[in-house]
Structure 1
Amino acid sequence: MALVTTKELLLDAQKNGYAVGAFNVENMEMVQAVVSAAEKTHSPVILQTTPSTVKYADCNYFYANVRTAAERAHVPVVMHLDHGNSFELAMQAMRAGYTSIMIDGSHYTFDENVELTKRVVSACHPNLIPVEAELGKVGGKEDDLDGGEGDPYTNPQEAARFVELTQVDSLAVAIGTAHGVYKGIPKLDFERLSEISKVVEIPLVLHGTSGVPDDAVKECIRRGMCKVNYATDLRIAFTNGVNRVLNAAPGTIDPKKYNSEGRIEVEKYVLQKIEILGCIGKG
Structure 2
Amino acid sequence: MLVNLSEVLNKARKEKYAVPAFDCTEDVLIRTILDTAEEKKSPVILMLLEHDLKGKGIDYITSMIKGVESKYNIPIVMHLDHATDIDFIKKAIDYGFTSVMYDGSMLSFEENIKNTKIVVDMAKGKGVSVEAELGHVAGKEIDGSYAGEMALTEPSQVKEFIDRTGIDALAVSIGTSHGVYVSMPNLNIERLREINEISTVPLVLHGGSGTPEDQVKEAIVNGITKINLYADLRIAMFKGLKTSCETQKRVDPLPDQVFKPVKDELRKTIIEKIELAMSQDKI
Give me the TM-score of the superposition, normalised by structure 2: 0.95
Q: Does 1:186 align with 2:185?
A: yes
How far did 1:130 drift? Answer: 0.6
Between the aligned partners of 2:264 and 2:55, the Cα distance in structure 1 is 23
Report 1:59-78 matches (<5 A). Answer: 59-78=58-77
How far did 1:60 drift? Answer: 2.2
Instruction: Report sequence identity in percent.
Output: 38
Q: Secondary structure at the match of 2:125?
A: helix
Between the aligned partners of 2:209 and 2:221, the Cα distance in structure 1 is 18
| Letter aligned with residue 257 of structure 1 | Q
| Letter aligned with residue 43 of structure 1 | S
Q: In structure 2, what is the equivalent of residue 276 of structure 1?
A: 276
| Letter aligned with residue 279 of structure 1 | S
| Letter aligned with residue 48 of structure 1 | M
| Greater mean alpha carbon deviation, residues 136-145 or residues 52-61 | 52-61
Between the aligned partners of 1:122 and 1:58, the Cα distance in structure 2 is 26
Q: In structure 1, what is the equivalent of residue 105 of structure 2?
A: 106
How far did 1:124 drift? Answer: 0.2
How far did 1:231 drift? Answer: 0.6
Between the aligned partners of 1:191 and 1:252, the Cα distance in structure 2 is 55
Superposition CA RMSD, Å: 1.5
* Structure 1 residues without counterparts, runs of 5 or longer: none
CA contact (8 A) 2:23 2:229 kept: yes
Distance 1:241 1:57, change over 3 A: farther
Between the aligned partners of 2:6 and 2:233, the Cα distance in structure 1 is 25
| Letter aligned with residue 18 of structure 1 | Y
CA contact (8 A) 2:244 2:259 kept: no
Q: Secondary structure at the match of 1:258?
A: helix
Between the aligned partners of 1:260 and 1:160, the Cα distance in structure 2 is 47
Report 1:166-177 matches (<5 A). Answer: 166-177=165-176
Between the aligned partners of 1:258 and 1:146, the Cα distance in structure 2 is 34
Q: In structure 1, what is the equivalent of residue 140 of structure 2?
A: 141
How far did 1:249 drift? Answer: 3.2
Between the aligned partners of 1:121 and 1:276, the Cα distance in structure 2 is 31
Report 1:203-214 matches (<5 A). Answer: 203-214=202-213
CA contact (8 A) 2:244 2:262 kept: no
Q: In structure 1, what is the equivalent of residue 235 of structure 2?
A: 236
How far did 1:253 drift? Answer: 5.6
| Letter aligned with residue 244 of structure 2 | V
CA contact (8 A) 2:22 2:230 kept: yes
Report 1:17-96 matches (<5 A). Answer: 17-55=16-54, 57-96=56-95
Q: Does 1:257 align with 2:252?
A: no
Deviations 1:180-221 (A, max 9, x none): 111121111111111111111100000001000111111000
Give aligned pairs, total.
281
| Letter aligned with residue 44 of structure 1 | P
Q: Secondary structure at the match of 1:164?
A: helix
| Letter aligned with residue 41 of structure 2 | H
Q: Secondary structure at the match of 2:140?
A: strand
CA contact (8 A) 1:103 1:132 kept: yes
Between the aligned partners of 1:64 and 1:238, the Cα distance in structure 2 is 23
Q: Does 1:215 align with 2:214?
A: yes
Give me the TM-score of the superposition, normalised by structure 1: 0.95
Deviations 1:32-55 (A, max 9, x none): 111111111111100001121212
| Letter aligned with residue 79 of structure 2 | H
Between the aligned partners of 1:67 and 1:215, the Cα distance in structure 2 is 35
How far did 1:70 drift? Answer: 1.7
* Structure 2 residues without counterparts, runs of 5 or longer: none
| Letter aligned with residue 126 of structure 1 | G
How far did 1:3 drift? Answer: 1.1
| Letter aligned with residue 211 of structure 2 | V
Between the aligned partners of 1:258 and 1:196, the Cα distance in structure 2 is 46
